Each structure stands twice: as structure tokens, then as C-alpha cells.
Amino acid sequence: MTEQTGRRVTANISLSLDGRYNGPGGANDFGAFAPYVTSEVARNYLTRIWEGATTALLGRINAEGFLGYWPTVAADENADPRDRGYAKWLVDTDKVVFSTTLAEAPWERARVVNAPVADVVADLKATGEGDILVNSSASLIKEVLAADLLDRLYLMIFPEITGGGQRLFHDGLPATQWTLTRQETGTMGEMAMVYDRVR
């Protein structure tokens, strides 16, 4: 059995009221979420997700999309300090990018893996320190949930019903119990919550 370091596995994602992480237009349809992502609650949430994390896990699509946006925020002295803090963390932290097609990592301080998420997480938990953040990559979060490896879920709920799009929670997940350890509600009805796995 692999020795464990006590590293916590965390994940963050934003969902609509009907449980979707994108709209009916496909993977890049975030129109329903756009009004909420720069709210005070959302920006405070953004800070919470990375503060204890030393490793970010990303799917290829998120890794490439984030690369086109967050490094410019990290360099922008006029950006909101919370946005800039997250951006600088993302640029500087160790990143693991899951892909079956990439030949080399799209970021500095990143490595590409083509392996089961559960195996990679188990290896990461055996070395190093700090939280392992599955960073807004739904396909990876689904695998970590299915393997019951997730210790903390940072969840933003936006008060929109998209009526279509991809869902995070599917039938067949193991039954698990969670404790709500933090909740914040914004003026537009957006909610930031932190759920910890009860073991």
C-alpha cells in the first residue's frame, strides 16, 4: 500500500441551478454564467480555492483555454487583486495536464500525463504537500468523484436554469456524505459553498 502524506484532494466548479457546467451550446457555452463570475462572492471564492493548493490538475481543454487568458491577468497590474492572485498562482504552481493527444505541456511548470486520474492522484498524495486542486475540469472531477478520492468540493451555484448542457453528477456515483463548511450568497443570488467529505 502506498504511504499517504495527508494531502487533500479538492476540486472547484460552477454549476447552474439545473446542475450544468455549460449551456446547451456546448463546451464553450458559458453565457448564463458570465454575469456572475466577477461578483464579490465569485472573486472571494476564486481566492479560497487556491490558497492551500500546491498542484493543479487540468484537462487539456481547460489547460489550453486558461493559457490564453490567465497569464495576461497575472501580468496586469490593474487587474482585481483576487483575479491576479489566482492567475499568478496558476502560472507558478505545478500543473498536471491530462491528455491523450498533447505531445508536450502547454505551460511552464506543467507535465502531460496519459493515465487514469485515480492513479495519478494516488501518486501525488504519496509525495509532496499542499492541496491537489482539480481545477474546474469537469471530466477529471467526475473521475475523482467516481473513485471517492475527493476530500473538498468548492461549488459555485448560479441562479440560472440553462435547460441543456453537460451535467457534473451522473447516476452510478458511490454514495457519499458531505458537510457544508462554508456558504456565501451574493447580491444576484449566486452562492459559493464549500463541502467537505465525511469519512
Find residue 157's DSSP bridge partners.
15, 191
Question: Considering only CA atoms, which of 29, 13, 18 is closest in space to residue 163?
Answer: 18
Backbone angles phi, psi at 67, to 5 degrees: -60, -30
Half-sphere exposure of 69 (CA within 13 A, CB side): 8
Q: How far apart are CA 189 and CA 43, in angstroms?
A: 15
Mean pLDDT of 22-31: 89
Name the band, by pLDDT with cuts 50, 70 and 90, for residue 27: confident
| Cell numbers for 35 | 454575469
Question: Is-contact 70 90, C-beta < 8 A?
Answer: yes
Say if residue 2's pLDDT is above 60.
Answer: no
- Residue 1 reports pLDDT greater than 50: no
pLDDT in tens, 82-118: 999 999 999 999 999 999 999 888 888 999 999 999 9
pTM assigned to the model: 0.93
- Which fold, 21-130+137-197? Dihydrofolate Reductase, subunit A (3.40.430)
66-79 pLDDT per residue, tens: 988 999 999 999 99
User: Per-residue pLDDT for 62 more than 60?
Assistant: yes
Q: What is the pLDDT of residues 149-192, one digit of tens each?
A: 999 999 999 999 999 999 999 899 999 999 999 999 999 999 99
CA–CA separation, 135 and 148 (whole Å): 17
| Distance in angstroms (rounded) separating the CA atoms of residues 89 and 70 | 10
Q: What is the mean pLDDT of the chain?
A: 93
